[in-house]
Structure 1
Amino acid sequence: MSRPQCSRCLRPLTHCLCPLIPSLDSRTRVLLLQHPSEVNHALNTARLAALGLNNAQLLVGEVFEDLPAVLDVPGYQARLLFPADDAQALHAYAPGDEPLLLVVPDGTWRKARKMLHLNPLLAALPRVTLAEGGVSRYRLRKAPAPGALSTIEAIVQALDVLEEPLSFEPLLKPFEALIDGQIAAMGKEVFQRNHGDRSIDS
């Protein structure tokens, strides 16, 4: 028998994260495109990010038929947060800059690439990237590459750069609570034995 679930954060009611989820305003509009396989992921950080940001939208799927309309938001310039040789490093807005519609794929690298392949409009967007050297707080999974971040961490890092001196750190509170809960559930000894001092990704 499944445990009662919070309809907002999708966590069991006994572990509802809603009290920790902030309500943050941002100049940047964040569009999260979540692969269906991520919806039931234990962390589901894309959903936490969408709930914590007032100017954010979360769409779930592999092929996004409504993409032309979703990307055409007056007053914003669409950019895809995804690595590429010609990706531009994010930098703080200058006065008068048009804010970004930051499109963030949520899925494994393989699934994110597939989403780009299935949505040519997405693949054609100019790309932006984060500065190297970010360290993930997700201590429960080996990172596929140095600097790999979970979706919510990547969004926080991007917004902190774009909208400095504002800090979007409060967005990570429910994420950190989830990780702490998982570590507590497995027990400290098991965590130390299996995960030690690794840096990790989601």
Structure 2
Amino acid sequence: MSRAQCPRCSRPSERCLCALIPNLPSRTRVLILQHPSEVKHALNTARLAALGLSNAELLIGEVFESLAALLQQPSHHACLLFPGEQAQPLVQFAEQRNELPLLLVVPDGTWRKARKLLYLNPLLAALPRVALPEGLQSRYRLRKAPVPGAISTIEAIVAALNTVEAPACFDELLKPFEVLIDGQIEAMGEHTYQRNHGKQDASS
């Protein structure tokens, strides 16, 4: 028999995170495009980010039919948060277009799945790409980073908003994320956690 789940945060009812999820306004519009494989992941940080931001939207799928209408809003400058040689620093992109707020498009999935989203949605691949500052450290203690500097979706969104909307701070968005991580560590047991992840923590 499956455990009852909170319909809002999708966590088991006894571990509901809703009381910790803020409702933060932002000038930047955040559009999260989540690959379906991430929906039932225990650490679904994209959902937490969408719930905690009043100016955010979460879409789930591989092909997004509504993308053209969402991207062609004259009130925003759209950009894709995706690292690589073609990406320019986010702060530089924002400073050049400070007369209008940004529409920050954030793919959510493994690197392979995120690239697939770009391949299946040419409008995404055509967007100007932006990247976060180097050297960011993830608090995601349960998953090894695939590349140096890799962070979770919610951490990337917080870092992006802190960058372009300073002095406003969006760190409050990370509170339910940190409790979620602590709960997962507690559930697996300290011994198992240290065996699988302790060395990673010591080296970070």
**TM-score, normalized by length of structure 2?**
0.94
Aligned partner of residue 64 in structure 2, secondary structure? coil
Q: CA deviation at 1:74?
A: 3.0
Distance 2:90 2:199 in 1: 29
User: SS at 1:198's partner residue?
Assistant: helix
Superposition pairs of residues 29-108 of structure 1, within 5 angstroms: 29-91=29-91, 96-108=98-110
* Structure with more of its chain in helix, by fraction: 2
1:75-113 Cα deviation digits (max 9, x unpaired): 100000001312110117559531110000000000000
- Whichever residue aligns with residue 76 of structure 1, its letter is H
Task: Report the AA paired with residue 152 of structure 1.
Answer: I
Task: Name the structure 2 match of 1:121.
Answer: 123
Q: Say whether residues 1:154 and 2:134 are aligned partners.
A: no
- Could you tell me how far apart the structure 2 residues matched to 1:197 and 1:166 are? 35
Matching residue's letter, 2:175: K
| Aligned equivalents of 1:85, 1:196: Cα separation in 2 | 33
Q: Secondary structure at the match of 2:70?
A: helix
Identity among equivalent positions (%) equals 69
Residue 73 of structure 1: how far off its partner (Å): 2.3
Amino acid at match of 1:75: S
- Residues 116-144 of structure 1 show CA distances to partners (whole Å, capped at 9, x for unaligned) of 00000111000000011010001111111
Aligned to 1:8: 8
How many aligned residue pairs are there? 199
Task: Let me know the Cα RMSD of the aligned residues.
Answer: 1.4
CA distance in 1, matches of 2:73, 2:56: 12
Q: How far apart are the structure 2 equivalents of 1:52 and 1:73? A: 23
- Deviations along 1:139-166, whole A, 9 cap, x unmatched? 1111111110000000000000000111
Ranges in structure 1 where 5+ consecutive residues have no aligned partner = none
Unaligned runs of 5+ in 2: none
Q: What secondary structure does 2:91 align onto? A: coil
Q: Give the drift of 1:194.
A: 1.2
